[in-house]
Amino acid sequence: MKTISLKKVSAVAVASLGFGLLSVVPAQAVITLPVWVDTATTVGGVAITSDTSTVTRTLDTQVNAAAVKTITAPAGAAIIFTVKSGAAFVTTNIIDMSINGVIVQSDTTLGTAVTAVTTTRNLPSPTVTTTYNYVLTVYETAGTTRAAATLTATIPVAITVNPASGYSNTLSQAYIVAGNAGTIATSTTDLLPVNVTKTAATTNAGSILINAFDAKNVAMTTPGTVTVSVSGAGALSSTFTNTTDTPTAGQCSATTNARVVTFTADAVNNVIICADGTAGVGTYKVEVTNSAGVTQTLATKTVTFFGSVAKIVADAKLTIGTAGGGTTGDASAARTTTASPAVIVKATDSAGNPVTGLTISAVSSDLTVVNSAITINADTAGSTYSSGGAGFYNASFSTPSSATSGKTATLTFRILDPSDVLGVAYLTSVVTVTIGGSVATEVLSFDKTSYAPGEAMVVTVTAKDSSGNPVADGTASPAITFSKAVGGSAPGASTYVGGKKSTSATAPTVFAPAVAGAFSALATSGNTAKSAITASSSVTDGNAALLTQIDALNAKIVALNALIAKIMKKLGVK
């Protein structure tokens, strides 16, 4: 019987799983499988180690972290393949390059390193996007002919070629802007949200800028046609002037509004958005048909068309004003810090759509508590600390020198009700505010008297003024330190809201010490005396609790044994 070496069987099995096809594995073989196309491969003189705007690739990381599986590149680009092996190539190695099964190039001078490069070859130049099946076949020969090959590996790479002069949906852009906000040709994002009145007028509701690019990322002059269609609310101008990247004003008209527009595209295209008297969301789909008649969806944009304001809701964030005079809240349209507005007002129409462009006012019930200096600005969408954008309004209020701790007033936010035929009724929303003074006393507290090691803690500091009322919102709160090392981050200096400042209960930032025993929280008060304030808690000893449980169990066992002994004695059992 013939004996087959398990070692040989394993070698053949492992090699056959490599990235290639194995004929014979001689003892003197030099190339080591797998063999792969590496990301050092260059297209247009640039290594494809990462994706670019014109060349992209995917990897087959099961073969190697840098093994290239597919490439997308522009037509005619020069490509030089970099092929790598587990061991060095030799001068008798051959690499054939085939495209769709036809050998188009052979390389026989590969050097003696683990990396071999092919000679330059230009990619095909199709008129439409086409995928070609490239295969690099590596031969290990004893001479210089394929017939003498003792090891053969095939490496497939699918290359998708974009026509150099053809439209590229990937590189083309579509941005949206409200009204006539000027050029957005260099924008990299939509100027959102687009939220405009539903009232049909000659005023543009917005525009969609469409920039068409070819596969080389060059602006095109004749890419084909563009079709923009709208579903839901809204319309399009059918007579727009498509000449520059700045929307031309006044192109909407009740007689020329359309649901679909199609036009011959060029490098820069502006489509004008119009209101049609319908409230709700309008969805605008942008499609481009290239010169080959292939249609692709470039982008989908939405616009909210609102009706007349029907409701305002004032959401109070800061309600304790400053005794003796001061301003509470940040009413900036575009807030750049975490400072909150005192009140955020939301305005909506009868369907709940946010309403922009309103002038909201507010009146105080007591000018000795809150004076008439109530500032309200429309929130800027996209700002660092936006309150919500379209339909939201930021407000602050000021107190006079006569404002004293404990006093209250109501602020009535209002706007004329457009549904009132007499023009005298208001839509309103009321907020009650109080007055607080400076810090007189502060108290530190924990949410628990004891914690498990590393357990999340809620630490609170409470401040009152000399009248015993909560201090004014925005008053500085102290940083807190601990007598033992804690986990997370110790609470830093901040500000009071409602007379308190606490660490979060839902997303804890500070955790109990890992060491058992008592510990303290410490801070320096902001009062005139700079008093030291402390709070105490402890960390339980997990082992001690376990020993207590064991002792209790042992006591129960002893009692049970005694009971069993009594029963046996009564029964006369020895």
pLDDT tens, position by position, 189-218: 676 668 889 988 888 888 888 888 887 778
Confidence of residue 263 (pLDDT cuts 50, 70, 90): confident
Among 165-169, 241-245, 510-514, top mean pLDDT goes to: 510-514
Residue found by looking up tokens 């489509």 in the block = 271
Contact (Cβ atoms closer than 8 angstroms) between residue 240 and residue 282: no
Predicted local confidence at residue 324, as pLDDT: 96
Task: With a cut of 50, say whether residue 451 has pLDDT above it.
Answer: yes
**Closest listed residue to residue 459, CA positions, set 541, 542, 536:** 536
Task: With a cut of 60, say whether residue 435 has pLDDT above it.
Answer: yes
Instruction: Render pLDDT for 463-502 as a digit per residue (tens, 0 to 9).
Output: 999 999 999 999 999 999 999 999 998 999 999 999 999 9
Residue found by looking up tokens 């969805």 in the block = 283
Give 330's Cβ-side CA count (13 Å radius). 14
Burial 103-129 (b: 16+ CB within 10 A, else e): eeeebeebeeeeebbbeebebeebeeb
Predicted local confidence at residue 212, as pLDDT: 84
Contact (Cβ atoms closer than 8 angstroms) between residue 378 and residue 393: yes
Task: With a cut of 60, say whether residue 14 has pLDDT above it.
Answer: no
Element (H, E) at 70: strand 68-74
Q: Set out the domains of the chain in order of their start, with CATH numbers.
A: 6-162 (no CATH), 167-306 (2.60.40.10), 311-435 (2.60.40), 441-540 (2.60.40.1930)
Confidence of residue 327 (pLDDT cuts 50, 70, 90): very high
25-29, 132-136, 509-513, 533-537: segment of lowest average pLDDT: 25-29
Provide the 3-class DSSP secondary structure of residue 548. helix
What strands, in cross-sheet order, belong to the sheet with 408-416?
Answer: 320-322, 426-436, 408-416, 361-364
Quick one: what percent of the chain has pLDDT higher than 90?
A: 59
Predicted local confidence at residue 246, as pLDDT: 66
Q: In angstroms, rounded to a whole number, what is the distance separating the alpha carbons of residues 167 and 361? A: 52
Amino acid at 72: T
Mean pLDDT of 436-453: 96
Distance of CA 214 to the CA centre of its chain: 29
On average, the pLDDT of the chain sits at 87
Q: In angstroms, rounded to a whole number, what is the distance separating the alpha carbons of residues 330 and 319? A: 13
Predicted local confidence at residue 152, as pLDDT: 82
Q: In angstroms, rounded to a whole number, what is the distance separating the alpha carbons of residues 167 and 157? A: 24
Instruction: Render pLDDT for 328-337 as a digit per residue (tens, 0 to 9).
Output: 999 999 998 8
Backbone angles phi, psi at 250, to 5 degrees: 65, 40
Predicted local confidence at residue 372, as pLDDT: 87
48-52, 239-243, 274-278, 316-320: segment of lowest average pLDDT: 239-243
What are all long-range contacts of 187-190, with beta carbons under 8 Å and residues at least 24 apart?
A: 190/301
Q: In angstroms, rounded to a whole number, what is the distance separating the alpha carbons of residues 572 and 574? A: 6
* Cα end-to-end distance, the chain, whole Å: 74
Task: With a cut of 80, say whether residue 184 has pLDDT above it.
Answer: no
